[in-house]
A = this chain, B = another copy of it.
Amino acid sequence: MLNDRIRIKEVLGSDMVNHNITIMGWVRTFRNNQFIALNDGSTNNNLQVVAELGHYNEELLKRITTGAALKVKGTIIPSLGKGQKFELKAEIIEVIGDSDAEKFPLQPKKHSLEFLREIAHLRFRTNTFGSVFRIRHSLAYAIHKFFNDKGFIYLHTPIITASDAEGAGETFHVTNFDLENPSKNEDGTINYKEDFFGRPTNLTVSGQLEAELGALALSDVYTFGPTFRAENSNTARHLAEFWMIEPEMAFSDLEDDMNLAEEFIKYIIKYALDNNREDLDFLASRLLDEEKQKPQNERNEMGLIEKLEFVINNNFERITYTEAIEILKESNHNKKKKFQFLIDKWGVDLQSEHERYLVEKHFKKPVILTNYPKEIKAFYMRQNDDGKTVAAMDILAPGIGEIVGGSQREERLEKLEERMKEMNIPVKELSWYLDTRKFGTCPHAGFGLGFERLVQFVTGMTNIRDVIPFPRFPKNADF
């Protein structure tokens, strides 16, 4: 049994002066043949290991290189250096795993995020990505805790599905066929009866419809799983594979939905502030450095921590789509034709530039937009009495745009079927979905939140590929 080691987070977080302990970790830097900065991933902070001069042979000292794995036994002493309270006076240093300094791609210097993306298998060992992935963990945990404490049931909705009923976008096909030689019918079309599932299948774009089935029996459920889009979007905002959270609540309307979403976002951000302060502080200063490269007028007005605290301490602004259109139409931005897409009439879909204007210029806080025109929203959203809008809501966050999309669902069978026919949604294929409206239907509502967008918002990372361990995007499925 190897594990008598103590994690560095624990060492730095408690007073262990004079304790004789063992730590293990990877060398970040080795200065003056004497000072080793050791990191074990439990915290962003390194423990300084002091190797007394003359105490260790040359051979060993040469092997203490950036990236090498060490086991160190020694005594904790108060540190004289600045920036650290304790350090470890080494008695025994053992190199567990060498690292050829000439070949190790991570040098003790600043690397570009682009370069680190190419060595995603090693970037966990940098300060930035250590912090990002510890925060990602905390946010995921906070999400489960939030819903569990509220009595929601975590539902694993299917990943492989035969329906793209939601029409949410292009899907990936899943097949067991040899693509060179799939089974074919006499007329030359694919014989899906011979495929694994006996029909065409694809990767899910959303677990919502299945979550509704759960909610109409268990009252409150949520999903947290991977979803997929086969869209050829090579941007800093899109991934082909990303994780989504989708709560669904029976006996709830649009207002309940907004209340839940706002409480939820505030809860998880507060959780990160309470549990990951060191990592957030590090990323905040990283972001500040990054911003310094930009012209003054493109910089964020708030620092990262300030922004997060602002979100948890202020009510989200709630306005209707119609009100938003009025604000945008009357804005100087619109009048001076600063928008790429000018707002001239009710009914148009809002672009990212409009959302950002509302959030960052006009209200300067997160905004919940409600009651969108039914033409630009999905078939399952509840139709409002005006005949024009649906009970939808999107939450827009500063710097990130849409972070939540939700709605009250159409629970009235006739209205739902009517809308499905209008929109060419196959009613028969979705008979199971309609059953919930036939047997004990009830008002219900839910929303979806893209997990990576949330991680971006909290960490301040500008490229979505930097907040998921191994990003999937066009022409890339490395690792």
**How many copies of this chain?**
2
Knowing A7-B151, A96-B441, A160-B241, the reply to whether A226 touches B225 (Cβ < 8 A) is: yes
Residue in B1, B144, B160, B439 whose beta carbon sits within 8 Å of that of A253 in the complex: B1
Asked whether, in the complex, the Cβ of A476 is within 8 Å of the Cβ of B198, the reply is yes
Q: Is the CB of B155 within 8 A of A219?
A: no
Interface string of A241-253 (1 = CB under 8 A from B): 1010000011111
How long is the Cα–Cα vector from A177 to B98 in the complex, in angstroms?
Answer: 45
A302 at the interface (CB under 8 A from B): no
A3 contacts the other chain (CB 8 A) = yes
Q: In the complex, which residue of chain B has the Cβ closest to the Cβ of A70?
A: B440
Q: In chain B, what residue has the closest Cβ to A437?
A: B97
Which B residues touch A391, using CB under 8 A? none
Contact yes or no, B103 A442, CB < 8 A: no
The answer, yes or no, to whether A41 is at the interface (CB within 8 Å) is: yes
Interface check A53, CB cutoff 8 A: no
Contacts of A86-100 to chain B: CB distance below 8 A? 96-100
Q: How far is the CB of A182 from chain B (nearest CB, A)?
A: 6
| Segment among A189-197, A372-380, A417-425 that sits at the interface with chain B | A189-197
Selected contact of A213 from candidates B3, B216, B479, CB within 8 Å: B479
Interface residues on A, range: 35 or more
Shortest Cβ distance from residue A148 to the other chain B in the assembled complex, whole angstroms: 5
Binds B, one of A117-125, A291-299, A341-349, A353-361: A117-125
A175 at the interface (CB under 8 A from B): yes
Q: Is A137 an interface residue (CB 8 A)?
A: yes
Contact mask for chain A residues 235-264; partner B; CB cutoff 8 A; 1 contact, 0 none? 000001101000001111101100100000
Binds B, one of A312-320, A382-390, A397-405, A467-475: A467-475
A140 in the interface (beta carbon within 8 A) = yes
Cβ–Cβ < 8 Å partners of A3 in chain B = 249, 251-252, 256
A119 and B228 alpha carbons, distance in the complex (Å): 26
Q: Given A130-B218, A219-B7, A470-B210 in contact, is the A160-B180 Cβ separation under 8 Å?
A: no
A230 within 8 A of B: yes
Contact in complex: B198, A475 (CB < 8 Å): yes
* A26, A104, A433, most chain B CB atoms within 10 A: A26
User: A96-B443, A160-B241 given. 16 additional CB < 8 A pairs?
Assistant: A24-B251, A41-B220, A42-B151, A68-B439, A100-B439, A103-B438, A124-B216, A137-B153, A156-B243, A160-B240, A161-B477, A162-B478, A170-B176, A172-B196, A201-B477, A214-B469
